[in-house]
Structure 1
């Protein structure tokens, strides 16, 4: 009996367990998945929790219910990977593997920025990339009466690069509905030269920021958060004052990757961009936020990647060449407030453009255009996540690789 070991039971790990249990013969392969946490979080829901759009129960479930029958679910802390020995040390035992899938994700690291996780952390300095941070921010916003509010992110890469923009758009809508928008000075602070990483999307999103009277500070490379003066300071000496700071700290791979000597400076595992095979070890594959591939760290990317990775693992086991297939495909709904959203569809080489999705020429969703249909699509994704995506069920009409049909590509 051979052993397939999956590290991490988040989005990517759970999907791979579902994909591979149905593909590998039970009398030949023992599949185990390891994660120390019992709760599975719907991380896109953390964006909505601070605004009382979602409740706590809508963004978390028991992770075990999504692990398929025939997969051994081990709830223990992972101490270290020994890739040259094909072993993984847990808190009280050591497991051997023939094939390893690393799906350990990434997490915020506020300690990487001076003063960010200081005395005001979760008091007037908040994240919304964790369940705890999002919940604390919800409680803060309920009592917030006005002042200078900054929405900021530290550096790329981050999980869901559009989320900080979505947050500032939803904040504009939230304060408008509460009747205090005129008392809130909203500023979006970014290390980028514009609103987003892609030019066409930056133009569309920049227009929306201006339209909503949201100030923008670009090229801001944060050095520190000053907890005495309530200011953020960049390395060039630029200063932005705040009463309430909502920040996305540096995102880093799991500390496990550092302990195992398998990561780059941010603890992301060097991974072939198109096959998703580890560059360091042929029997190790990497998926989701744990990789260093230059794709968006979003659930849709993990979904598309899981389909290619499943095929490549089967090819690897048959001794055949791997598919050089994964193209970094991502599609993301961007909430813009007032029950509207944008939709962008892109990959490694093709930036977001206008068009229709998922049916070319028909839609019903419009790319790079605000619409209520896109907003409904964003909200519907929660059902799709729990009932299809985690279970490895293909989403109808949406291909793993980006289609250029129906798009206005120059």
Structure 2
């Protein structure tokens, strides 16, 4: 088994399979370009000083079980016909089964004018470690002006993160007594605040309540850094003093070179088994596949559980009987020490109710609460100590309807 990518999905599946597969029969290798594992949800908190930089970074190797080989190097391409992975430095790895878990990355090079002399200055982003740290300094120095939070296009990893940043920015400037001097504008290509209509309505209400102007249906054509404006294809302009942009997200370039991806370098897969639609021995997990659901850590977690159960059936010569239902749950930081929680799947819109225990919670769905905020902050400890090592955390992979009702 060769696993490309040592992030959330790649680490989880490696650890779970190492426990389940005989060490004298199976060799498991994880390939990644470096030995740095970031807790990416922490990027959201770095610009506001809510978390320290050292709390975000750990060693990949430290979270891989004994008996797993960590291969450091860049992937050049996959040769599916030969069942071989070629690395940029000339090394190659043969496989019987391949898992592509190389995620998705921001690509500012895909939008004219986004990269330039003001990148990570007046044009900021928080989807990378360096970008989040640069933005921390920019926000600390900002006392007035227009802050624009801009979403280029969907899909992106953690699709609620731009909204969370906006809510936290409102809270950040309000606590400093500067909110009346800082205008906040949310710019999106969507026709509302979010992709799911029920959640979009609730989140849009919160934006309005906090005095955030929303510019919808805005498809950016280019950014003029000199004039400090976003320009859309229909020639609308949105000016900014500080821009926080979420660039177009794309899968890894080697996926395209290998002929395995779609136009955004995501691997087409069966949405229930994560198996490549082209090659039976290839699977794509986490953000690397084209699943029609959120590119979020919860999706990686739940889909990995399904994959492992199916894979053990597959290598035992039995049919794969488990099906991923697109289950996702996402905390949405709303500022003021509160957060919402969304729970949905391929077929079900976010519901109201309680989670994870029916009627008891302690978390509330589609409603702000301090318990949800505490849950969001506590998840970092679950991530490092339970999720990555592949230990059970007590949540079912399939979405449960118990204790939930449709939103009014």
TM-score (norm. length: structure 1): 0.98
Q: Select the residue among 19, 43, 52 that pairs with 1:46.
A: 43
* Count of aligned residue pairs for this structure pair: 406
1:133 aligned residue: 131
2:180 aligned residue: 182
Asked if 1:60 is matched to 2:57, the reply is yes
Give the Cα–Cα distance (whole angstroms) in 1 for the partners of residues 60 and 53 of structure 2: 15
Q: Is the CA contact (8 Å cut-off) linking 2:350 and 2:406 kept in structure 1?
A: no
2:22 aligned residue: 25
Instruction: State the 1:391 CA deviation.
Output: 1.0
Listed one character per residue, the Cα deviations across residues 107-130 of structure 1 (whole Å, up to 9, x for unaligned) are 001111110112211110011000
2:334 aligned residue: 336
1:6-405 correspondence to structure 2 within 5 Å: 6-90=3-87, 91-396=89-394, 398-405=395-402
SS in 1 for 2:406: coil
SS in 1 for 2:405: coil
Instruction: State the 1:324 CA deviation.
Output: 5.0
Give the Cα–Cα distance (whole angstroms) in 1 for the partners of residues 121 and 162 of structure 2: 19
Q: Is the CA contact (8 Å cut-off) linking 2:310 and 2:322 kept in structure 1?
A: no
Give the Cα–Cα distance (whole angstroms) in 2 for the partners of residues 319 and 110 of structure 1: 45
Give the Cα–Cα distance (whole angstroms) in 1 for the partners of residues 311 and 276 of structure 2: 12
Give the Cα–Cα distance (whole angstroms) in 1 for the partners of residues 320 and 220 of structure 2: 41
SS in 2 for 1:354: strand
Q: Is the CA contact (8 Å cut-off) linking 2:268 and 2:289 kept in structure 1?
A: yes
- Structure 2 gaps, min length 5: none
Give the Cα–Cα distance (whole angstroms) in 2 for the partners of residues 258 and 190 of structure 1: 27
What value does the CA root-mean-square deviation take over the aligned residues? 0.9
TM-score (norm. length: structure 2): 0.98
Listed one character per residue, the Cα deviations across residues 38-70 of structure 1 (whole Å, up to 9, x for unaligned) are 110000000000000011001111111001001
Q: Is the CA contact (8 Å cut-off) linking 1:330 and 1:346 kept in structure 2?
A: yes
Instruction: State the 1:79 CA deviation.
Output: 1.3
Q: Is the CA contact (8 Å cut-off) linking 1:275 and 1:323 kept in structure 2?
A: no
Listed one character per residue, the Cα deviations across residues 75-109 of structure 1 (whole Å, up to 9, x for unaligned) are 11211110111000122311111111110111001
Listed one character per residue, the Cα deviations across residues 6-47 of structure 1 (whole Å, up to 9, x for unaligned) are 111010100011110001001110111111111100000000
Listed one character per residue, the Cα deviations across residues 254-288 of structure 1 (whole Å, up to 9, x for unaligned) are 11111111100000000110011111100111100
SS in 2 for 1:408: strand
Q: Is the CA contact (8 Å cut-off) linking 1:274 and 1:323 kept in structure 2?
A: no
